[in-house]
Structure 1
Amino acid sequence: MKKINLEQKSLEIQNIISRYTKESFVCFFADFIRHHPERRNTGFSEKFKSKLKDSLYLIMLRLSTPLEGKEELRYSKESDLVLQQVADILLEIVSFYLSENYDEFDEITDKRQRLLVHELAFKNYFQNGILNYREQEINKVIRMFKPYQDKTQKRLGIDLKTLIDLCTHSELIYRAKSINSKSFILDKKFDKLARQSANGLLAENEFADKLLELSDETQESFLNFFENPHQCLLFTKQDFLPSIEEKYIDIFCDLFSIDIKDTHSNLFYSQQNPLENKPIIKISNNKYLNIYQKQLPSALYDLLYTTLTQTKKEKEQLNFRKGKVVLENHTLELFKKFFKKSKRVSFFTNYYINNHPEEKDILIIADKNAYIIECKASRYREPRRDTEQAYQRIKSDFADCIQKGYDQCYQVEQELINNEKVVIAFKGKSEVILRNDIHEIFSIVVTSERFASIQTDLGLLLKKDNADPYPWSIYVDDLETFLKAIYNRFSNPSRKIFEFLEHRELLHKRLITNDELDVCAMFLQNPKHFKELCESEYVVFTDPTLQNYFDKLYFDKKLKFKIEDY
């Protein structure tokens, strides 16, 4: 691929978008991030590879120049052409990051493998958002930091409960303003007019003329929405009153906002974006804009982790809690709820098998099938740009997490396969399991971080005996979502997870997907077709719109996540 100057290309984009005022630019893209699923995917939107990541990058790129700009960014044919130009340059940048080394190693298999792993990791890390739900993010904060409330209050001047209440209230404010901003929809005459326009039944200027025939309230509501679709994303400190004390609102805004007037230096696409930790922009003294509201609980998690790990000892203690306490307990509870309909089920936690000295995490015997589960909270670091360095880091993180989890599962699996009986020691007691009482064995590695493509297709990096089946490795939030969906849809969930795992292991080395939930949705939508695909020899590409399956369940209130006590 032709070499490009990344700095020059980034400055080229910055020069184009600096014609727009900072406020109108950030408001435009905040609205785009939140509401693009409700609109047609045309023009510049169609060219964005990641509507979230690309938008966040452009916002920070615009804020990283002192130029104020003179034009107001509103959607029009003219502005769309400008943004299409920006999207084209952005595509050049991303393509260069991923493809600059391909020509050199075109015929070398191991080098091609490294490039593929690097490309997948880069795309997953920088371009793909995580499909999970707000309640899951909040629960993650509660489970991890609930025991540290006094220390949080002392170091931040605000307690955990109030921080979570502020995140929750922020979403409620948005929803109320969103409903209010679209009140014109409730006018039946407007609804009829909109349908006529959408079906091409009105002449070019007829819509505007007929709009004038509607009530003043409907006209004003529609025009306000048309001119300022981002209005529901703006808030003031007074919006939180009287539910939250003023001093805590001040702390919240300081912790999670960046000032639009601040100086930034985010030029490159692969730089850490400040909006991930501070997803609110302070427009003026009492005017704030939610850029990426779903990120608030995640930003809170990162803030609390940093705040509570000021010494090496604190960091070691918190990391131990993250894996050995939080992840294991949460995973165990998920499976306990899932298998509660099973008549024959046993759970073994923090157990030892046949006097082996290494403690294992979870073993479940349900309906004569064994589920060996290892929980891993190891890190997954940002991929480097250089392919060789990036590959070594990705491989190292994979080995510390998924590979280690598989190796531990394999030890238990071999004991169950090669012995007539095994002794499980746990919680000061022991139990004997007979091999003849177990029909099938499945290994599952549950991770606290999302490894995306290198986790969904373990054929890329996992080292194992060719005769041994692949384990199932899954990010814990995806596990929760999938188990809930199976449990709510099927009368015999234990049988369905067996069917899924029995066939899922056949997909490795020929699966192209960014997200395990795409695979899960394939199974839930059509189990028979899923099995046929798994048993075929075809390379399987998942449709990225499959994740809408879970969104529909969620918004139809068939997929529910309860906020834990805090």
Structure 2
Amino acid sequence: MDITRLEQISNELKQFMAKYKTQNMLGHLSDLMTCISNAKARQELSELTSPMRQLYYLAGLMLSVEPNGDSEINYTYEDWNHIVELLKDIDLEHVKLFYPKDESEVNEEWKRKVNIAMPTFLSYFNLGPLNYEEQVIEEIENVYTPMDDVLTEKYDLCTADLLLFYENLDSWCTYNFASLSTPQLTPLRANWRDYTDLDVGTDFPSMTHDTLENLQALSTFRSDPGIKNRFKPTDLAVDGLPLQKVNTILSLLSTERTNSDFLYYTGCNPIVDKPIVKLGNGLYQVFEEKRVLHAIQSLLDEICKHSSKVNSRLSHHKGAYLEKKIVELFRKFFGKEAEVFKGYYIDGCEQDIIVLYKGKMLVIEAKAYTNKEPFRNTERAFIRIKQDFDRSIGYAYTQCKRVEDKMKKGEKFNLYDKTGKVIKTIDPDDYDGNDFYMIVNQEAFGQIQIDLSSFLTIADGYNYPWAVRFYDLEIFILTLIARKKKPSYFFDFLIMREYLHGHVVCSDEGEICGAYITGQLTEKHAESDKVITFTPCTAAVFDDQYRKGMGFKNEKHWKEKHDASTIFW
């Protein structure tokens, strides 16, 4: 790869973003992000290879360069085409990272390593994995609340303060959207003009004051969509959250526009971990509300990393929470007829979860492992990726195989509790080959997790496990429940899913699950030798279900989703 070329293109794009006014362009980029899932703004988004990542990259570049004085509030058609072409060139240069220095390097082993390293590298930096705010809120509440002593000592905050900050921010932005987009239904804030510097005039002297006000608000919102995401600290100091704590949280989660070294999307983007921008004049603007939750997670993780003892505590809470959620999910799906054992032992080795249901056995290993950022060099990237795989999915498979070996042997065996007491005797004949194996991760590993044949060697007669991120598993099972699918439908999926290894290309398990639910993935496809690819469109079924009601614990707008009284964007 020509580093000079990549630097040149990236710098050109960065300087191009300098002409835009911060709050206005930030709002337009935020607005484009809301169009990714609803198929709007196709003209702008259709040629972006990874819209979420690229829009964040544009916002990060703009915040990393001082304004050049042009103060343009939006892009023109020509501007956007130029931006897209530069983004394409930048993507190409990053792909060239994995090109050989010399043609003599190209052989089958080199091709294998590139086919693993390149998609893993690219998917690692693609933001916006499929999850919903209720999932993240529940995880933060359960995993980090036990760590409040650390947070309080350092910042005089607790986890509940951070979550209340998010809730207040989300409520503020939601009300703004409703009032500015449909002011005839939701009353405008009396001071709504304080949050925009645009003066969108309307000249209709025959209109009443209220009608004119509503029209001006709607016109302003269309010209300055970022208005809905702007706030003053005092706006969030409600529901028992003191202003002092609001300001402390803003100091941790906000950034400002200033010259910085950020240039490549693989770098430390200022708006990823600090998605709130300080504008001046007492105003702040959030780039994406949901990202604030991920920023809170990153902040809490960072605080806990400074002590190995504290970090060990956190790892324990993460693992315990993951296992607890898996058990809750399958109890909800299978009902009272399922037997569930957690923390059982075989041959003196601890196993995570086993579920027995109507002649079916589901062996589950949970791994709260955090994968590391991959290197840019093919050889080094491959080594790190394989190490991460072996320490998480690979290790989990050895635990699954411990049970599978017993099942293949065909002799009765016992499950024990930690005291050595027999809690269940398993007779393989009772299951007649209906034993299934799952590895549930806290994080996604991309292509190497979806196609386990890259790293996992399976003995003859043995089956690949299903390796899946918990968030993806949860929305899949909850959607099956919402659509009144029986457990047999899920077990049919596991059989079909096992056939995909060795000929599937995908970075998001949700796309595969969505294709199965919608009938786009069939047994014929799975059992063929043809390479199968999936697109984000197949995962849209989960967004559709969420709008109707997914079934999360404490799901937001549950009542409104069922009576269609709320606008969701």
Whether the 8 Å CA contact 1:308–1:314 is kept in 2: the answer is yes
Q: Which residue matches 1:468?
A: 462
Q: Deviations over 1:310-359 (max 9, x none)?
A: 22222223223322x22222222222222115x3x222221122xx1221
Among candidates 428, 453, 467, match of residue 459 of structure 1: 453
Q: Is it true that 1:540 corresponds to 2:522 in the alignment?
A: no
Q: List runs of 5+ in structure 1 lacking aligned partners.
A: 188-207
Instruction: Kindly provide the CA deviation profile for residues 194-220 of structure 1, in whole angstroms up to 9, marking residues without a partner as x.
Output: xxxxxxxxxxxxxx9999989424431
1:403 to 387, 391, 394: 394
| Cα distance in structure 2, aligned partners of 1:435 and 1:378 | 31
Letter in 2 for 1:340: G
The residue that corresponds to 1:264 in the other structure is: 260
Tell me, in whole angstroms, the C-alpha distance in 1 between the residues paired with 2:296 and 2:358.
41
**What residue in structure 2 maps to residue 388 of structure 1?**
379
Match of 1:277 among 270, 273, 277: 273
Task: Tell me: CA distance 1:558–1:101, structure 2 relative to 1, closer, same or farther (3 Å).
Answer: closer
Deviation at 1:279, TM superposition (A): 0.9
Q: What is the alpha-carbon distance in structure 2 between the residues aligned to residue 178 and residue 499 of structure 1?
A: 43
1:194 is matched with none
Q: 1:373-522 to 2 correspondence within 5 Å?
A: 373-428=364-419, 429-430=421-422, 431-439=424-432, 440-492=434-486, 494-522=487-515
Residue 225 (structure 1) shift: 1.8
Give the Cα separation in 2 of the matches to 1:25 and 1:164.
28
CA-based RMSD: 2.5
Q: Secondary structure at the match of 2:30?
A: helix
Aligned counterpart, 2:560: none
**Cα gap change, 1:305/1:497 in structure 2, threshold over 3 Å: closer, same or farther?**
same
Contact 2:157 2:245 in 1 (8 A): yes
Rounded Cα–Cα distance in structure 2 between residues aligned with 1:301 and 1:95: 32
Q: CA deviation at 1:300?
A: 1.0
Between the aligned partners of 1:85 and 1:106, the Cα distance in structure 2 is 36
After superposition, what is the alpha-carbon deviation per residue over 1:483-514, rounded to whole angstroms, capped at 9, x for unaligned? 1111222352x212211111110011111222
Q: Which residue of 2 aligns with 1:196?
A: none
CA contact (8 A) 1:21 1:68 kept: no
Superposition deviation, residue 427 in structure 1: 4.6
Deviation at 1:534, TM superposition (A): 1.4
- 1:184 Cα deviation from its structure 2 partner: 5.7
Q: Structure 2 CA distance, aligned partners of 1:472 and 1:68?
A: 52
Residues 561/536 of structure 1: CA separation in 2 closer, same or farther (3 Å cut)? farther
> For residue 195 of structure 2, what is the aligned residue in structure 1?
none
Amino acid at match of 1:54: Q
Q: Aligned letter for 2:322?
A: L
The residue number in structure 1 matching 2:62 is 62
Q: Equivalent residue for 1:296?
A: 292
Equivalences for 1:28-177 in 2 at 5 Å? 28-38=28-38, 40-75=40-75, 79-102=76-99, 104=103, 108-177=107-176
Residues 372 and 105 from structure 1, CA distance in 2 versus in 1: closer, same or farther, beyond 3 angstroms? Answer: farther
- The one-letter amino acid paired with 1:374 is E
Please name the residue that 1:190 is paired with. none
Counterpart CA distance in 2 for 1:372 and 1:268 is 42
Q: Deviation of residue 167 (structure 1)?
A: 0.8
Deviations 1:27-64 (A, max 9, x none): 33233223454563444432222222112212221222
- Structure 1 residues 304 and 100, CA, compared in 2 at 3 Å: closer, same or farther? closer
Equivalent of 2:304, from 298, 303, 308?
308
> 1:27 & 1:186 partners in 2: Cα distance?
23
Per the TM alignment, residue 454 of structure 1 is displaced from its structure 2 partner at its CA by 1.4
- Superposed CA deviations along residues 116-156 of structure 1, whole A, max 9, x for unmatched, are 11221122111252000001111111121122223322221
How much does 1:401 deviate? 0.6
For residues 372 and 50 of structure 2, the distance between their equivalents in structure 1, rounded to whole angstroms, comes to 20
Q: Name the SS for the 2:369 alignment partner.
A: coil
CA positional deviation for 1:470: 0.9
Structure 2 SS opposite 1:5? helix
Q: Which residue identity lines up with residue 436 of structure 1 in the other structure?
A: D
The 3-state SS of whatever aligns with 1:95 is helix
Measured in 1, the distance between the counterparts of 2:485 and 2:40 equals 38
Residue 328 of structure 2 is aligned to residue 333 of structure 1? yes
- In structure 1, what is the Cα distance between the partners aligned to 2:313 and 2:40? 48
Deviation at 1:100, TM superposition (A): 4.3
Specify which of 542, 545, 559 is matched with residue 550 of structure 1.
542
Q: Do 2:343 and 2:417's aligned partners in 1 also have CA atoms closer than 8 Å?
A: yes
Alignment partner of 1:464: what SS? Answer: coil
- For residues 520 and 185 of structure 1, the distance between their equivalents in structure 2, rounded to whole angstroms, comes to 41
Conserved in 1, the CA contact under 8 Å of 2:98 and 2:377?
no
Partner secondary structure for residue 438 of structure 2: strand
d(CA) in 2 for partners of 1:2 and 1:246? Answer: 50
| Other structure's SS at 1:230 match | helix
The question of whether the paired residues in 1 share the 8 Å contact of 2:230 and 2:284 is answered with yes
Instruction: After TM superposition, give the deviation of residue 522 of structure 1 in Å.
Output: 1.4
Q: TM-score, normalised by structure 2?
A: 0.88
1:340-359 superposed matches below 5 A: 340=335, 343=337, 345-353=338-346, 356-359=347-350
- Residue 351 of structure 1 aligns with an amino acid whose one-letter code is Y
Distance 1:216 1:209, change over 3 A: closer
Q: 1:111 & 1:551 partners in 2: Cα distance?
A: 39
Instruction: Tell me which moved more, 383-392 or 470-479.
Output: 383-392
CA distance 1:211–1:318, change in 2 (3 Å) = farther
Pick closer, same or farther for the CA change 1:43–1:35 going to 2, 3 Å: closer
| Alpha-carbon distance in 2 for matches of 1:318, 1:101 | 36
